[in-house]
């Protein structure tokens, strides 16, 4: 099993954090893992993305042309990565930040109002965890339990106060119903 995931959004949306969390989880589960971040010079508001590859076997290359899955936190990310997802792959779209339908009908689309769900849970900053949960609930990659354990183990001490909220956000995302792709 090898799965490639591209996570993309604006700086400050926690894109790199959830990519690292996937990578740490893979390592904790004795998988082969690569994590490659990419971001502009802006700390917040600029573009940010990362590529995570998780595999049972040695990874030939960390670079990915057609990922198994994409998490698009905003419209520019959807515009850039929608066409790259492998047929049969998964595209998780933050419907709170995207104002158009997905054009493809050969992939599983999860259009989830992540910001709205995060706000319901009490912190808009956990939208990234809602998105990650939605991915885990719709792609055989890593278990939700394993990700929660990795979150406990690898979250910096100063961030531990957000642990339970992040777990709630993960679970809400994982339980979200899949919406079928809609042709624009």
Could you tell me the CA-to-CA distances from 49 to 18, 173, 174 in Å, in that order?
Answer: 10, 20, 21
What is the reported pLDDT for 102? 96
Residue 73 domain boundaries: 2-175
Q: What is the CATH number of the domain that holds 85?
A: 3.40.920.10
Instruction: Please report whether residue 139 resides in a domain.
Output: yes
Nearest to 146 by CA among 157, 156, 154: 154
Using one digit for the tens of pLDDT, what is the confidence trace for 26-60? 999 999 999 999 977 655 667 899 999 999 999 99
Instruction: Please report whether residue 183 resides in a domain.
Output: no
Spatial distance between the Cα atoms of 23 and 41, rounded to a whole number of angstroms: 23
Instruction: Please report whether residue 182 resides in a domain.
Output: no
What is the reported pLDDT for 181? 46
Spatial distance between the Cα atoms of 72 and 149, rounded to a whole number of angstroms: 25
Instruction: Please report whether residue 168 resides in a domain.
Output: yes
Instruction: Please report whether residue 184 resides in a domain.
Output: no
Spatial distance between the Cα atoms of 146 and 14, rounded to a whole number of angstroms: 19
Using one digit for the tens of pLDDT, what is the confidence trace for 86-131? 999 999 999 999 999 999 999 999 999 999 999 999 998 999 999 9
Instruction: Please report whether residue 180 resides in a domain.
Output: no
CB-based contact 19:48 (threshold 8 Å): no
Model confidence at 183, in pLDDT bands (50, 70, 90)? very low
Could you tell me the CA-to-CA distances from 59 to 33, 69, 162 in Å, in that order?
Answer: 7, 17, 33
Instruction: Please report whether residue 29 resides in a domain.
Output: yes
CB-based contact 19:37 (threshold 8 Å): yes
Is pTM beyond 0.75? Reply is: yes
Instruction: Please report whether residue 181 resides in a domain.
Output: no
Please report, rounded to a whole number, the percentage of residues in the chain having pLDDT higher than 70: 93
Overall domain count for the chain: 1
Q: What is the CA radius of gyration of the chain?
A: 15
């Amino acid at each position: 099993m090898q799965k490639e995931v591209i996570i993309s959004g604006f700086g400050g949306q926690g894109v790199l954090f959830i990519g690292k969390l996937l990578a740490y989880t893979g390592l904790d589960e004795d998988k082969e893992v690569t994590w490659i971040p990419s971001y502009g010079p802006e700390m917040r508001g600029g573009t940010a993305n990362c590529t995570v590859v998780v595999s049972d076997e040695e990874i030939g290359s960390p670079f990915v042309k057609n990922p198994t899955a994409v998490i698009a936190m905003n419209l520019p990310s959807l515009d850039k990565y929608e066409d790259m997802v492998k047929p049969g792959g998964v595209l998780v779209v933050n419907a709170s930040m995207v104002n158009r339908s997905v054009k493809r009908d050969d992939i599983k689309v999860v259009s989830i109002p992540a910001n709205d769900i995060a706000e319901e849970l009490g912190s808009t900053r956990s939208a990234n965890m809602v998105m990650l949960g939605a991915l885990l609930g719709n792609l055989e990659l890593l278990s939700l339990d394993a990700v929660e354990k990795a979150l406990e183990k690898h979250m910096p001490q100063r961030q531990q106060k957000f642990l339970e909220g992040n777990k709630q956000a993960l679970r809400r995302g994982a339980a979200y119903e899949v919406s079928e792709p809609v042709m624009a």
